[in-house]
Amino acid sequence: MTRKRMSPRAGHILPSEITSERDYFDKPSPIARRDVLKTLGGGMLASLAAGSVTPATAATERTAKIAGVKPSSRYRLDDVNSWEDITTYNNFYEFGLDKSDPARNAGRMKVKPWSVEVTGEADKTGVFTLEDILRPHPLEERIYRFRCVEAWSRVVPWVGIPLADVLKRFDPNSRAKYVEFTTLMDPMQMPGQRRAVLDWPYVEGLRIDEAMHPLALLVVGVYGHWLPNQNGAPLRLIVPWKYGFKSVKSIVRIRFTARQPRTSWNLAASNEYGFYANVNPAVDHPRWSQAKERRIGQSFLAPRVDTLAFNGYADEVSSLYRGMDLRRFY
Amino acid sequence: MMAVAGAWRALKPVAFIAALLPLLGLIAALLQMGSASLGPNPVRELLHATGKESLNWLLITLLISPIREISGQWQWLTIRRMLGLWAFFYALLHLAVYVILELELDWSELTQEIIRRPFILVGLASLLALLPLAATSTQRMMRRLKKRWQQLHYLIYPATALAIWHYYWQVKADVLEPLVYASALVLLLSWRALQRSNAFGRLD
């Protein structure tokens, strides 16, 4: 099933070019029914709803389009989630705890100019501007499944560069066994950091062979546009076979290290969030099952779908964990 | 005087509508009327909203006695049972969303969840504690149980405590909101304890 879903599609069309069609299919309820309901005093009830239910954030403004993005022929998927699904439902605790908070609060983050400090076990360390980091690499669109540890998922057309291509330019040395990534720390721009919900700044990490795996992506855009702030602008990680919290956002520091990094969620609750955090339907979170997931952007009547081992990327990544007890190294 | 009596007569319908509004809001959002929406993850939103409404109305129900004592107006008591029933209704809705929409009526999964996740069990215990209260909420049952009715209905305290515990336990990182609910309950309990000791003081 995995293979079939990931097979190349005829013709390379960027999802950004067919949004209107997709948006049409994304609507959970038939238009006709909605119109009828609107005429039945829907406006009044709608204003009631606004008071009691978190209203969906207004459609977020599109960031600028990225020129010259090549669609990957290998990583294509159907049923891509809409721009709204992707940009209004986010876990980015630096901007608040509710899923709609980042879309509301992330606007104040300044992403230009942006630089990244590269330190640790590598020959070419230093501070690099985002432009320096991106310049030599062609940008590629890859459609990946995204699975949150909270048992919801979506399908996202990311724009980025294989992480390995970037990391290799810093010439990591033989002591570099892990890579650590750090998110911006600035409570003035990130109001969520004013409360110690997590031990700020947010830190994530990968084993060096995971970081060098061709699936790991350094992401700058979504849907053919530059990343909106709430999605981790201007530079974030996407590790599609791991739970979403591994895919650290708004990266300001990359550190090559000999020892396993102390990562944020693992520090907060080590029995619930492991360092590896590979998507695994057979290993439950202590408080909920990971066997199934809810695809967001669907009707409330849509059933959950089975979660796939390594989020459907087992063929490509399971060899990284050969001989490891995945129950122990969750 | 007439105007005051009229205002008290309005208390019950006003309270009823206040408790009904969140339900109407959820229905509007579910049907996507106008700009109302439950967002990209409607089931989770329904689950959280119904759970929170139940907690809100449990605490509001507990607030009625202090309001009565402080204001000296017995009329407040006329809405207490109704508000308690609304809390029970939202709790039932919460369970229904969980079993029907979240678990898709998979009974073996429900059993597994109850066994494996203590916070589910705590939530269920809270609902079970509310069940006899809802069942004896009629005028007739009040008369029949007499003094024991009041004793039975003290169950609302453990039920509320369990509901808050259930909420606290399922939160991922930020426990501020469950702690606010817990503080509110502690405050209400302390007020009641104080009232009691005062009453005993007068007896001595």
Does residue B146 fall inside a structural domain?
Answer: yes
Domain of B199, in residue numbers: 47-203
A88 touches chain B (CB under 8 A): yes
Q: How far is B39 from chain A (nearest CA, A)?
A: 5
Q: From the list B30, B113, B174, which residue is nearest A97 (CB)?
A: B174
Q: Is-contact B169 B121, C-beta < 8 A?
A: no
* pLDDT tens for each residue of A116-131: 999 999 999 999 999 9
pLDDT digit string, tens, across residues A56-107: 444 567 899 999 999 999 999 999 999 999 999 999 999 999 999 999 999 9
- Among B44, B46, B174, the residue with its CB nearest the CB of A197 is B174
Longest Cα separation, chain B: 63
Measured in angstroms, the CA of B46 and the nearest CA of chain A are apart by 9
Using alpha carbons only, what angle is made at residue A16 by residues A11 and A19, rounded to the nearest 5 degrees? 100
Can you name the residues that pair with A278 across neighbouring β-strands? A242
Contact A260, A178 (CB under 8 A): yes
For chain B, the domain total comes to: 1
Residue-by-residue pLDDT tens, chain B, 204 positions: 556 777 888 999 999 999 999 999 999 999 988 888 899 999 999 999 999 999 999 999 999 999 999 999 999 999 999 999 999 999 999 999 999 999 999 999 999 999 999 999 999 999 999 999 999 999 999 999 989 999 999 999 999 999 999 999 988 778 889 999 999 999 999 998 988 887 665 544
Nearest-by-CA chain B residue for A264: B173
Through-space distance between the first and last CA atoms of chain A, rounded to whole angstroms? 25
Q: What is the mean pLDDT of chain A?
A: 86
Q: B31 contacts in A (CB within 8 Å)? A: 29, 34, 37, 42
Q: B25 lies in a domain?
A: no
Domain membership flag for residue B152: yes
pLDDT band at A140; cut points 50, 70, 90:
very high
Q: Are B39 and A268 an interchain contact pair (Cβ–Cβ within 8 Å)? A: no
Q: Which residues of B touch A50 (CB under 8 A)?
A: 25, 35-36
Q: What residue in B sits closest to A36 (Cα-Cα)?
A: B33
Asked if A289's CB is within 8 angstroms of B112's CB, the reply is: yes
Identify which has the larger pLDDT, A33 or A178.
A178
To the nearest whole percent, how much of chain A has pLDDT over 90? 81
- Of residues A285 and A5, more confidently modeled: A285
Other beta carbons less than 10 A from residue A42's beta carbon: 21
CB contact (8 A) between residue A97 and residue B173 = yes
**Among all residues of chain A, which has the CA nearest to that of B26?**
A49
Q: Look-up: residue for tokens 């970081």?
A: A211
Residue B104 in domain: yes
DSSP A286: T
Looking at the domain assignment, is residue B18 inside a domain? no
Which of A38-47, A181-190, B97-106, B146-155 bottoms out in mean pLDDT, i.e. has the lowest? Answer: A38-47
Task: Report the residue from B36, B112, B173 with minimal CB separation from A50.
Answer: B36
The nearest CA of chain B is from the CA of A45 a distance in Å of 6
Rounded to a whole number of angstroms, the distance from the CA of B202 to the nearest CA of chain A is 44
Distance (Å) from the alpha carbon of B173 to chain A's nearest alpha carbon:
6
pLDDT at A40 over 60: no
Q: pLDDT digits over A6-34, tens only?
A: 333 434 445 544 444 344 334 333 333 33
**Structural domains of chain A, ranges and CATH numbers in brackets:** 2-321 (3.90.420.10)
What ipTM was assigned to the predicted interfaces of this complex? 0.85
* B27 interface with A at CB cutoff 8 Å: yes
Element of type H or E holding B86: helix B80-96
**Dihedral over alpha carbons A92, A156, A110, A165 (to 10 degrees):** 110
Residue A90 amino acid letter:
N
Instruction: Name which of A35-49, A78-92, A195-209 the model is least confident about.
Output: A35-49
Whole-number pLDDT of residue A9:
40
Domain assignment of residue B17, yes or no = no
What span, in angstroms and rounded, lies between the C-alpha atoms of A316 and A26? Answer: 30
**Cβ A53–B117 below 8 Å, yes or no?**
no
Q: Are A320 and A276 in contact (CB under 8 A)?
A: no
* B142 found inside a domain: yes
Q: What phi, psi does A192 have (nearest 5°)?
A: -65, -20
Q: Is the pLDDT of residue A39 over 60?
A: no
- The CA R_g of chain A, rounded to the nearest whole Å, is 20
Q: Which of residues 36-75 of A touch B (CB under 8 A)?
A: 37-38, 40, 42-43, 45-56
Q: Which of residues 205-264 of A touch B (CB under 8 A)?
A: none
Q: From CA B3, how far away is CA B120, in angstroms rounded?
A: 48
**To the nearest whole angstrom, how far is the Cα of B141 from the nearest Cα of chain A?**
34
Which residues in B lie closer than 8 A to residue A93 (C-beta atoms)?
Answer: 173
Report if residue B62 sits inside a domain.
yes
Specify the pLDDT at position B196: 82
